[in-house]
Amino acid sequence: MPSADAYVVHHITNLRLPKGSDQMDPWVIHLDTMIVSWVLGIFLLTFLIMVARRVTAGIPGGLQNFVELLVDFVDNSVKETFHGPRNFVGPLALTIFCVVLLWNLMDLVPVDWVPYAVCQSGLAGYFRIVPSADINATFGLSITVLGLIMLYGVKGKGLVGYGKELLTHPFGANPLLWIPNLVLNVVELVSKTVSLAMRLFGNLYAAELIFILIALLPWWIQFIPGGAWAIFHILVVPLQAFLFMTLTIVYLSLAYEKH
């Protein structure tokens, strides 16, 4: 049985490429995050295609009801917040919500199952299955949102209009204020990106760590704190997905609309 610190370090270490590289190296590929994300993406796509092929105009089945409720929920959220063309924002919001939700649900899988299976198979020594507990994944998603914010700023105001807003908002159009305006707007864009990524990462990393610490307890008592934490965490999982989706819609709306 490894020591407690070795056990925790093992469970929070990613499967990295190149092998043996530093955990915090920004140029390292976290294979486990990519593999789990691809598997979840394929599962989501397969699930939605299966439901779409079984759609009926009559009495809908349980899966159709579930998907329709989910789509209506996301669509209403977009309608209430984003007042521009929604042909892209709606599907984007639905995709973000579903992907982040599936990422977060992986935290409810017992912490030893997948790492133990991977280690016993000889494929790798480490394997994490919670992509949202990997800061690379959350920042990858938030940087994508940052690119869309800038794109929708140009789409809503035009390239000249968006550039003018960066230089003249919020202090005014005086040329002496252009640099302070630009600095403040850049800080705002960066803070949106960081807050999106760190909120999701921080909550799921902390939840994963608590599950790992609970797993250090004797097996006959683990189910008491583990079950209680899992029940509480079930509320956190969809909440974090909802917050990421809602903030994305809000940021796109703010970028698109004129001030």
Condensed to tens digits (0 to 9), the pLDDT of residues 138-194 reads 999 999 999 999 999 999 999 999 999 999 988 888 888 889 999 999 999 999 999
Model confidence at 93, in pLDDT bands (50, 70, 90)? very high
**Bridging pattern class, strands 16-17 and 29-30:** antiparallel
For residues 13 and 126, is the Cβ–Cβ distance under 8 A?
A: yes
Q: What does the pLDDT average to over 110-130?
A: 88
Quick one: tokens of 106?
A: 């992986």
Q: Which domain holds residue 205?
A: 4-256
DSSP state of 131: G
Residue 4 has a pLDDT of 86
In the block, which residue shows the tokens 């992509």? Answer: 131
Is residue 20's pLDDT more than 90? Answer: no
For residues 201 and 138, is the Cβ–Cβ distance under 8 A?
A: yes
Is residue 1's pLDDT more than 60? Answer: no
* Closest alpha carbon to 80 in 259, 255, 246: 246
Q: What is Dmax (Cα atoms) for the chain?
A: 70
User: Any idea of the CA torsion for 228, 198, 39, 63, to the nearest 10 degrees?
Assistant: 60
Is residue 2's pLDDT more than 80? Answer: no
Domain tally, the chain: 1
Active centre residues (catalytic): 195, 199, 203
User: Any idea of the CA torsion for 182, 185, 190, 193, to the nearest 10 degrees?
Assistant: -150
* Closest alpha carbon to 99 in 59, 47, 28, 63: 47
Three-state SS across 18-37? CCCCCCCCCCCEEHHHHHHH
Give CA–CA dist 170/173, Å, rounded. 9
Beta bridge partners of 30: 16
Amino acid (1-letter code) at residue 204 = L
